Structure 1
Amino acid sequence: MERLYLIVGIAGQRVALSTHFVESVVEIDVVTPVPLVAPHIAGLAALRSRVLTIVDTLAALDLGRMEQADVMEAVIVTIDGHLYGLLVEDVEDVVELNSGPTPVCAVLDAGWSRVTSGMVEIDGDALLLIDPAALVLGPSALAA
C-alpha cells in the first residue's frame, strides 16, 4: 500500500507528517495573540473565513519559540474536527512510499519522543514521523 508524507522542517530537522491529517500548506502573515492560552499556542489566524489555532512547533517540543516573521509557513491539519496551523521552518515536498513507518530505534529528547510515532526512510534518510495531534497538545501532555 502506498502512503503519502509531507516533508517539513521543524527545529532544524527534516521530519515527515502523514498527509492523512494535512488539509493544506499556507503562508500566515498575521497571528493574533490570545491571552491565557497554553504557551505553545502562538495565537489565532484567519484562513478562508475560518479561524485557526496556530501552534508554535518549537514551543510544542519545549525547545523555545519560533521567531515571528512577516510571513510564516504553516501546515493546516484537522484534529478532532478542528483546524490547526502548525508553524514550520520550511516545507520541502510530498513523497510517496510503498512501506509504512518503522519503530524509532534511537533515544529521543522528551519533546521529540512525545510527538514521534515512528520513522520513515526517504531518499536514504531516516525521518521522524510526527503526530500532529501530539504537537497540538503541547508539552503539558508530558505531565498527563
Structure 2
Amino acid sequence: MTQSLLLCLIAERRIAFPAVKVRSVIEIERITPIPRTAPHIAGITALRSQALTVIDSRVALGFESSGDPAGSRAAVVDHEGHAYALLVDEAFDVTAALGEPERVPGGFGEAWAEAAIGMVETASGPALLIAIEQLIAGRGAGSLSESLPVRV
C-alpha cells in the first residue's frame, strides 16, 4: 500500500506523519499559554478564527523544548473532534511511502519507540512514522510500536 507522508524533523530525527491526517502546515505566530496543563501542551493559537491546541512535539517525546515557538512550523491535525497544531523543528517534504512500516530497530530510545508506529522507507531515505495520538497524549501514554503490523 502506498501512502503519502509529510516529512518533518523533530529533535534532529526524520519523522513522518500520514499526510491524509494533516490538514495543513502553518507557521505559528503567537501562542497563548493555558494554565495547569500538561508540560507538552504549549497553549492555544488561532487559525482562521479556529482555536488550535498547540502540542510541543519535542516535550511530548521527552526532549527539551526548542524555546519560543513563535515562527515555528506546525502540522495541523484533527483528532477525536479537536484541532491540534503539532510543533515540528522543520516540515520539508510530502512524499510516498515505499512500503509498509517495519518494526523500529533498537537504538532509537524509549521516547521514539513509544511514539513510533514503525520505520518507513521513502525516496529520500527512512523516517520514523509517528502516531499523532501519541504526541497529543504526551510521554508515558503507552507504546503503539508493539501492535505492528499497522495499516495507516
Taking the aligned partners of 2:119 and 2:61, their CA distance within structure 1 comes to 17
- Contact in 1 for aligned 2:25/2:76 (Cα 8 Å): yes
RMSD, aligned CA = 1.5
CA 1:28/1:124 → structure 2, altered by over 3 Å: closer, same or farther?
closer
Q: What is the aligned partner in structure 2 of residue 97 from structure 1?
A: 97
Question: Which runs of no fewer than 5 residues in structure 1 stay unpaired?
Answer: none
Q: What is the aligned partner in structure 1 of residue 76 from structure 2?
A: 76
Give deviations 1:91-142, integer Å, cap 9, x for gaps: 1110023422122222432211111001111236221110111000001425
Taking the aligned partners of 1:122 and 1:2, their CA distance within structure 2 comes to 10
| Structure with greater contact order relative to length (CA < 8 Å, sep ≥ 6) | 1
- Contact in 2 for aligned 1:40/1:56 (Cα 8 Å): yes
Which has more strand, going by share of residues?
Answer: 1
Once the two structures are TM-superposed, the CA of residue 4 in structure 1 deviates from its matched residue by 0.3
Once the two structures are TM-superposed, the CA of residue 58 in structure 1 deviates from its matched residue by 0.8
- Contact in 2 for aligned 1:56/1:86 (Cα 8 Å): yes
Q: Secondary structure at the match of 2:9?
A: strand
Which sits farther off after the overlay, 111-120 or 121-130? 121-130
Taking the aligned partners of 2:42 and 2:124, their CA distance within structure 1 comes to 34
Letter in 1 for 2:85: G
Q: What is the aligned partner in structure 2 of residue 54 from structure 1?
A: 54
Given the two structures, how large is their TM-score scaled by the length of structure 1?
0.91
Q: How many residues align?
A: 142
